[in-house]
Amino acid sequence: MAVVRTVELPSGVRVPALGQGTWGMGEDPARRQSEVAALRRGFDLGMTLVDTAEMYADGAAEEVVGEAIRGRRDETFVVSKVSPRHADRRGAPAACRASLRRLGTDRIDLYLLHWRGDVPLDETVEALEGLVADGSIGSWGVSNLDVDDLADLPAGARPQTDQVLYNLTRRGPEYDLLPFCRERSLPVMAYSPVEQGRLLGHPALAAVAEVHGSTPAQVALAWVLRRDDVIAIPKASTVAHVEENRAALDLLLREDELRALDAAFPPPDRKQPLDVL
Ligand code: NAP
């Protein structure tokens, strides 16, 4: 199996800096085999972190992941998410059991609160710690939490990541969230790193891509991956896109190129509330 650059989680576990998303997978049975093949090609290339959620396709994305990891569980790092309405003392264990069944495994490596809902964070953290204690999950983290939400976590809580929307068109986290997390050695997981494809027609990306003989998607990913405390999880449902994305790890953007991208996509100069998709 290919080796890729890794990022260390607070637990000391190292995960690939480039993983694979699954939102939108599992929605059409006719596409299932190609989705499984794409994920497995990603594993071959070292993109062994796979991100899913109970919410995606009402659980069917977890089933796609389950099929992709079958026979390869030891080489993969499975991230799934509990929906906020299930993130209480009773709901979380039941939701986790259902996810484990769909994934066909006895352990989720990293289980995230999908976003903050009505359940008090203290109760959610207690429920997630309970799942760590009984071995259903290896560790827990959060998603879509801004700085003030992270500050509301109970004292002593040790999330392994905050998964947030971060890409060239969504640079708000650079103002406060990324520094806050870096200070606490908490890696951020960047979702929608190519803005679900909407970013790819931008001329500034095309200009940088042309110099490197690469593609706009690779430049967008390389830009997210320029930071050593960020994990990117693009979703790609074809082998060609997976291979293209993997190559982004080898693309190093030069200072002048980063400046050109700053001009086209200015960094934040004030607090911006965390965007959510
Ligand atoms: P994304 O990864 O930015 O974009 C996915 C889209 O880009 C798909 O249409 C894909 O097409 C296309 N694409 C991928 N690689 C490409 C390439 N090399 N060239 C051209 N197009 C390419 O958006 P996302 O799926 O929203 O985000 C990634 C993952 O983050 C999700 O799948 C999910 O696991 C996670 N996420 C989490 C949250 C949260 O609230 N925590 C929210 C959103 C997403 P094909 O599918 O045709 O390859």
Which domains occur in the chain, in start order?
6-196+229-238 (3.20.20.100)
Q: Is 84 in the pocket of ligand 1 (CB under 6 A)?
A: no
Q: Whose CA is nearest to atom 10 of ligand 1?
A: 236
Q: At residue 125, what are phi and psi to the nearest 5 degrees?
A: -65, -40
Strands 77-82 and 230-232: unpaired
Task: Please give the distance, rounded to the nearest whole angstrom, from the Cα atom of residue 122 to the centre of ligand 1.
Answer: 31
Report the residue among 31, 192, 219 best suited for mutation to probe ligand 1: largest number of ligand atoms under 8 A from its CB.
192
Task: Specify the long-range contacts of residues 239-243, CB closer than 8 Å, at least 24 apart.
Answer: 239/34, 239/37, 239/38, 239/41, 241/38, 241/217, 242/20, 242/38, 242/39, 242/41, 242/42, 242/45, 242/47, 243/41, 243/45
Tell which residue, 131, 150, 133, has the closest CA to residue 142: 150
Q: Cβ–Cβ contacts within 10 Å for residue 155, how many?
A: 5
Task: Please give the distance, rounded to the nearest whole angstrom, from the Cα atom of residue 14 to the centre of ligand 1.
Answer: 23
Ligand 1 closest atom vs CA 234:
2
Active site residue 166: no
Instruction: Report the alpha-carbon distance of residue 216 to residue 264 in Å, rounded.
Output: 14
Residue-wise pLDDT tens for the chain (277 aa)? 567 999 999 999 999 999 999 999 999 999 999 999 999 999 999 999 999 999 999 999 999 999 999 999 999 999 999 999 999 999 999 999 999 999 999 999 999 999 999 999 999 999 999 999 999 999 999 999 999 999 999 999 999 999 999 999 999 999 999 999 999 999 999 999 999 999 999 999 999 999 999 999 999 999 999 999 999 999 999 999 999 999 999 999 999 999 999 999 999 999 999 999 9
Q: Is 83 in the pocket of ligand 1 (CB under 6 A)?
A: no
State the DSSP H helix or E strand holding residue 8, giving kind and residue range, or none if neither. strand 6-8
Q: Whose CA is nearest to atom 47 of ligand 1?
A: 237
Task: Please give the distance, rounded to the nearest whole angstrom, from the Cα atom of residue 194 to the centre of ligand 1.
Answer: 7
What b/e sequence results for 70-93 when a residue is b if at least 16 CB atoms lie within 10 Å of its CB, and e otherwise?
eeeeeebbbbbbbbbebbbeebbb
pTM as predicted: 0.98
Indicate the Cα dihedral angle 172, 221, 79, 143, nearest 10°. Answer: 10
